Structure 1
Amino acid sequence: MAATQQQPATMAPAAALTAVRPAGDRAILVELSSLDTVLSLQAQLTAHPRPGQIDVIAAAGTVLITADSPHALRALAAHVRSLDLEAPAEADSTLVTIEVVYDGDDLDEAAALTGLGRDGVVAAHTDQLWTAAFAGFAPGFAYLTGENSTLDVPRRRSPRTAVPAGAVALGGPYSAIYPRQSPGGWQLIGRTDATLWDLGRDNPALIRPGDTVRFAAVRAQATMTRRPEPADAAARQAPHGEHATAGLAVRKPGLQATIQDLGRPGYASLGVSSSGAMDRGALRRANRLVGNPEDAAGVEMLFGGLEIEALTDQVLAVTGASVPLEVTPSGDAKQRPTAVRQPACDAPFALLAGERLTVGAPTAGLRSYLGVRGGVTGPTALGSRSTDTMSGLGPDPLQAGSTLPVGTPTPGSVVGNAEISPLPDQSRATVLRVVPGPRQDWFSEETLAAFLEQEWTVTPKSNRIGLRLDGEALTRSTDGELASEGTVRGAVQVPPEGQPVLFLSDHPVTGGYPVIAVVVHADLDKAAQLPPGATVRFTPASPAEQPETPKESFHA
C-alpha cells in the first residue's frame, strides 16, 4: 500500500482570536474560535517567522508560540494581535491519500459505539476528508479532524501497552495513524504500511499540520514492512566538514548515560520536542572548560557510574552534580596506586591514552555532564545529536563496549579556567519561580494558594520527560476535559489525580491536562538536579520576571 499526494484548493479561515495567555516567560498560548483560524495563524507565522520565534504548535483551538527571550515574546504577542486571521492562509496544503486495510482489533467496538456497523464505520472513515489539525504524542503522529462527527468515539478505558506501527485509529473527534510502535488508548480500526515518519525525506512527516487526508479502503492483505526507527535515515552522516578521531571507549555506562547537546528546537509542529541536556548550564560549562562551542555534544549521566577509557589523549571536564572522579591506568589500579589521580569537577583535566575515568555517585545533585575537547561526534537527527527518550530520536543510551568518536577541536580554541556553579541545597525545599497559567482558571483561588504554599516531593517515577511530584492533591474547579494543546518545558501539568508533573527536556509536544503554572526558563536547570526525595516549592515570579506582553493582548 502507498500514500499519494496532490494539491487541493486552499482552505479559508472564518473566525478570530479570542485570547492570548502567558505560558511561562518565553511562550504564549493563543486561543482561537475555529480550526480555520488556527491554521491561518500557524501558516502566517511559519511563512513569515518573526525575530526570536522558535516553535509554532497548532492544536484544535489554540496555537502555542515559543520565543528565545522575553523581549522577543513581547514583540510576537503584539504581532499576533495585528494579523488578519480571517485572510486565507499563505500556505500550500497537500492532499495525502492513505490506503488502509480495515481489520483493526477495535473495529467491532467502534461499530457498536457509533451504531453504524462495521461497513458503516469504514464508509464514514473513507467518505470524508480529514484535516491535520496539529501534531503531537510522537514524531509523525497527526491529529486529524473530520468533516462530521459520526466517528466521535471515546478512547479505550484501558490503554494498550503496545500499538503496532501503521495502526489507524479513532480517539474522541480525531483519527490518527501510529507512526511507530508505542503505548496508546485509541480505538484501532485498520492498518497501513505508509511510512509516516522518515528522516531521509526533506520533510520527515508524511502528514503535516494543515494537510488534508483521504483514506482509501483496500481488500488485499497488507504486508507490514518493518521500517527503520526514526534515528536512522537523515542521521547516516556527520555534518559536512566535521572529522572524528578515535575517542573514548565506554567500559561501564552507569544507570543511564546519553549523548546530549542543546537539543533540536523548531520541530514541535511535527511532534518533536527540543530535548537536549536537562541542565543546559552545566553542559555549557563543560564545553567552555574544554574549549568547545557551548552547543557541542557531551555525555549526560544519571547518578554517575560511568567508566570510560581514552583511546587517544583527551581533555575532559565534568560538571553538574558533585561527583568523585578517579583516573587510573588501564588494568588493575591496585597494582599501581601511585598512578591513581582524582581530578576536580568543574575544571579541565587530561585523560591520556589507556587511562580510565570513573565517575562516582553524586554527593549533591543528580545529573553530571562530561565534556570532551572537540565534542562527541557521530550521526545527527534533525540537526542534533541529543537522545530523546520520548520520541526515540537520536542515539541509544550508552552501552558497555561502545565507542564515542571525538571531533577535531576548533582551531584557536583554548581550554578554560575552573568554574563553580552552586547546586540546589537538598536539606531544604528548592524554590522554583513560576508564571501562573495558562490554565490557572481551571482551579479555584484556594487550590492555587495550596499549590504555592505546600512543599512537593520528587518521586522515583521522575525522568527526562518530567518530575512527578507528590503532595496534597490539587482539585479542579472546572468540569470536563481540556482539548489537547501545546506544552512547553517547565509546564506544571495537573492530571485528574491532582499530583503535578513538571515537564522537562523530553516532554510531549502536546498535552490534554490543564497547566496551572510554568517554571521560568532561568530555574529549569535547578529542576534537572533534583533527585527522588528532594522537595520543591513554587513561588510566583516577580513582576519584572513576568512576560512583558502588552496587557491588552491577554483579552479578546
Structure 2
Amino acid sequence: MQASSNPGTAPRFASGTGLHVRAVGERALLLETSGTAEASALHSLLATSPLPGQIEAVPAARTVLVRFATRTETREAAARAGQLAGEALPDEAQEPRMVELETVYDGEDLEEVVRLSGLGSVQAVIEAHTAAHWTAAFSGFAPGFAYLTGGDPRLQVPRRSEPRTAVPAGSVALAGEYSAAYPGVSPGGWQLIGRTSAPLWDLEREFPALIAPGMRVRFVPVRERAELSARSAGDRGQGTDLARSDPDPGLQARPDAVVLETGLLVTVQDLGRPGHSHVGVGRSGAADRSALARANRLAGNTPDAAGLEVLFGGLRLRAEQDLVLAVTGASAGLTVQDASGPNAGMLPDRPFLLRAGSELELGIPVAGLRTYIAFRGGLEIPAVLGSRSTDTLAGLGPEPVAPGTALTIGAEPGSAVGHAEVPPPLPGGFAELRYVPGPRQDWFGPDGTSAFESRDWTVGGQSNRVGIRFEGSPLPCLRSGELASEAVLPGSVQVPPSGQPILFLADAPVTGGYPVIGVVLEADLDLAAQLRPGTAVRFVPVTLPA
C-alpha cells in the first residue's frame, strides 16, 4: 500500500446497461443501477445467488452495496459484475411474501398531503394509498424501517420543511416516492397520514423485522382505534435493559462487581452484530476494536467476550468477588482502593487481580479517548441479534451502564491469561488518517479532493460513537441537490451540505443521503476512535495494492 498524491476518483467500471460498479473502501463494491426497482431486483438476485466471498448485500434507493471477505474476491467480483445486469431473477424471487398492515388514517399531515398531491380529499388519499401493492425496496434509518415503493405517483409529496423531533411508533408516512411505517419513536420529516399497531420490529421473533427487502406490503384501512403495544411504543424497546440502576434480582442474584460512578458514558461492547444491515441494523461493537481484542487476550477470554467501553475515564467500580481484569485503550490512571488504602501502581495492558471489596477507579486519560475493561470470563448479558453491544444509534443491546449497575461475569474461560503487551501509540494533538477514494468523490472534483487532503480538520465536540464531526473551512461540492440514499460503512467520510466532513464510526447508520468523498482504512479506525475533540487531522490518500 503506497501513499498517493493524486488518487483520482473511486474506480468505476462500466459493466452493462444500467449497472456500474464503484469501489467502497478495501473490501466492498457499490453496484449502481438505474432505479429503485432495478436495485431491489439485483439485491434479490444476490440474496439467492451470492457472489464468491460475498458477506453481505445491502440494498438502497438505486444501489446495492456488497461486502466481501477478501480484497482478492472484491477485485474478482468487480471484474465480473457486468454479467449481473442481464441475469434473470430466480423463480422464487418473483413471488414475494405479502404483508398486510391494518392502518387508521388519522395522521397529522393528511390535509397537507391532500393539498400537495392535488387529490382533492382525504378519502382520495386513503384510496390511493391502500390501492397500491407496495414493495419493500430497502431498509435503513432505524431497525425494521422499510422504504416502500410502487405507490400512486400522485402520492409523491416532499418531506416536511421542519422535521419532527419525535414521530410516534407505528406512524404511517409518505416522502418522495416512498411510504413507510415507523417501527419505534424517532425523529423524522416524513408526512404522517396514519398509524398501525402491527409489530414492525420484535426481537422475540426469529426474524425481528416484519418487513424485509423484497416483500410486498398492502395497507388495509380500519375504522377502530388501533392501540399500540407497550413494546412498540417505547422510547427504546429494542434491546436488553440489564445495565440499569435497579437490576432485576433474578438476573443479578450474585453480582461479581457493582458500578459506583460512570463519568460521561460507559457501554457494554463486544465485536458487534454484522450481517443485519439489510433490515436496518448496523454492526456496532467496540469503537477501538484492537483495544478490546487486546484486553480480552490479556484476560484470557475469547475474542468475542463482552467488556466495558469507557468514554474519557471517570469509571469507579467495586469487586464483590475476586476478579481478573485487563485495561487497555486510552492512557488513564488506574487506582485501586482496598483495606490498606489507595494504590495507584496498577498498570494497563497487563492482567491484574482485583480482590473482593476493592474498588477500581479510572482517571481522566492524558491521551486517547476510550478505555476498555475486560473481565476474565466476559460480561454475562443476554445477546441481541448475536451481540451484547450497545448500539447508541439503533437503540439495540443493553442500556448505557449507570451507577448502581450490578455486573455478572461469565464462566472461567479455561485458558491462560496473556502476557503484558506494548500498545500502539495514542494520538496527540495531530493525527493522520489514511483513506481511499469514496464512491462519490467525483461530486467534489479535483479542487474539492485537493482541499479535503490539504487541510487540517479539527475534531468537533459533537462527535460520538456514530461518527466524528470535523470542523474547518467548508468543502466545496460540484453538485447540488440530494443524493438518493445508499449504504455506508464505518470509515466512510460523508460530506453534508454544510461542507463539514463526518467520519462514521462503530454505530454508523446503515444508509446515508450525502456523498462519501473517501473511506478511511479499516486499520486506522481504531486510531480514529481515540481522537479527542480539538485534535487536528489530515486525511492522507493511499493506493490499494493491485
Please report the TM-score for the alignment, with normalisation by the length of structure 2.
0.91
Q: Superposed, which structure 2 residues align to 1:98-497 within 5 Å?
A: 98-116=101-119, 117-227=121-231, 229-232=237-240, 246-329=255-338, 336-337=340-341, 340-411=343-414, 413-428=415-430, 430-497=431-498
Q: Please, what is the CA RMSD of the aligned residues?
A: 2.0
Closer/same/farther in 2, CA of residues 157 and 188 from structure 1, 3 Å limit: same
Could you tell me which residue of structure 1 aligns to residue 3 of structure 2? none
Q: Any idea what SS the aligned residue of 1:340 has?
A: strand
Cα shift at 1:55 = 2.1
Q: Any idea what SS the aligned residue of 1:227 has?
A: helix
Cα shift at 1:84 = 5.7
Structure 1 distance, partners of 2:151, 2:200, is 22
Cα shift at 1:225 = 2.1
Structure 2 distance, partners of 1:444, 1:80, is 26
Cα shift at 1:73 = 2.2
Q: Any idea what SS the aligned residue of 1:161 has?
A: strand
Q: Any idea what SS the aligned residue of 1:492 has?
A: strand
Could you tell me which residue of structure 2 aligns to residue 87 of structure 1? 88
Structure 1 distance, partners of 2:305, 2:276, is 19
Q: Any idea what SS the aligned residue of 1:74 has?
A: helix
Cα shift at 1:244 = 11
Query: What are the Cα deviations for residues 335-374 of structure 1, in whole angstroms up to 9, with x where unaligned?
Result: x43x625211111110011111000000000000001111
Tell me which amino acid in the other structure corresponds to 2:272.
Answer: G
Closer/same/farther in 2, CA of residues 107 and 173 from structure 1, 3 Å limit: same
Structure 1 distance, partners of 2:73, 2:380, is 32
Closer/same/farther in 2, CA of residues 94 and 531 from structure 1, 3 Å limit: same
Structure 2 distance, partners of 1:417, 1:50, is 41
Structure 2 distance, partners of 1:418, 1:364, is 20
Tell me which amino acid in the other structure corresponds to 2:375.
Answer: V
Structure 2 distance, partners of 1:81, 1:409, is 51
Structure 2 distance, partners of 1:193, 1:475, is 45
Cα shift at 1:34 = 3.6
Identity over the aligned pairs, expressed in percent? 52
Tell me which amino acid in the other structure corresponds to 1:504.
Answer: L
Deviates more, 1:402-411 or 1:182-191: 402-411
Closer/same/farther in 2, CA of residues 542 and 416 from structure 1, 3 Å limit: same
Indicate if the aligned counterparts of 1:16 and 1:37 stay in contact, CA closer than 8 A: no
Query: What are the Cα deviations for residues 440-465 of structure 1, in whole angstroms up to 9, with x where unaligned?
Result: 11112111100010010011100000
Tell me which amino acid in the other structure corresponds to 2:259.
Answer: V
Closer/same/farther in 2, CA of residues 275 and 252 from structure 1, 3 Å limit: same
Query: What are the Cα deviations for residues 456-479 of structure 1, in whole angstroms up to 9, with x where unaligned?
Result: 001110000000001110122113
Could you tell me which residue of structure 2 aligns to residue 333 of structure 1? none
Structure 2 distance, partners of 1:62, 1:19, is 9
Tell me which amino acid in the other structure corresponds to 2:398.
Answer: P
Query: What are the Cα deviations for residues 503-522 of structure 1, in whole angstroms up to 9, with x where unaligned?
Result: 11111100111111110111
Size of the aligned set, in residue pairs, is 516
Tell me which amino acid in the other structure corresponds to 1:422.
Answer: P
Could you tell me which residue of structure 2 aligns to residue 5 of structure 1? none
Could you tell me which residue of structure 2 aligns to residue 554 of structure 1? none
Structure 2 distance, partners of 1:513, 1:55, is 22
Tell me which amino acid in the other structure corresponds to 2:491.
Answer: G
Structure 1 distance, partners of 2:191, 2:464, is 28
Indicate if the aligned counterparts of 2:26 and 2:544 stay in contact, CA closer than 8 A: no
Query: What are the Cα deviations for residues 72-112 of structure 1, in whole angstroms up to 9, with x where unaligned?
Result: 32244345344365402453611111111111011111111
Indicate if the aligned counterparts of 1:124 and 1:151 stay in contact, CA closer than 8 A: yes
Indicate if the aligned counterparts of 2:443 and 2:477 stay in contact, CA closer than 8 A: yes
Cα shift at 1:50 = 4.6
Structure 2 distance, partners of 1:517, 1:284, is 27
Query: What are the Cα deviations for residues 216-250 of structure 1, in whole angstroms up to 9, with x where unaligned?
Result: 111112222221611159x9xxxxxxx99742211
Could you tell me which residue of structure 2 aligns to residue 552 of structure 1? none
Could you tell me which residue of structure 1 aligns to residue 63 of structure 2? 62
Structure 1 distance, partners of 2:444, 2:85, is 33
Tell me which amino acid in the other structure corresponds to 2:285.
Answer: G
- Could you tell me which runs of 5 or more consecutive residues in structure 2 were left unpaired when the two chains were aligned: 1-15, 244-251
Could you tell me which residue of structure 2 aligns to residue 523 of structure 1? 524
Cα shift at 1:393 = 0.4
Indicate if the aligned counterparts of 2:333 and 2:344 stay in contact, CA closer than 8 A: no
Deviates more, 1:198-207 or 1:72-81: 72-81
Indicate if the aligned counterparts of 2:427 and 2:527 stay in contact, CA closer than 8 A: no
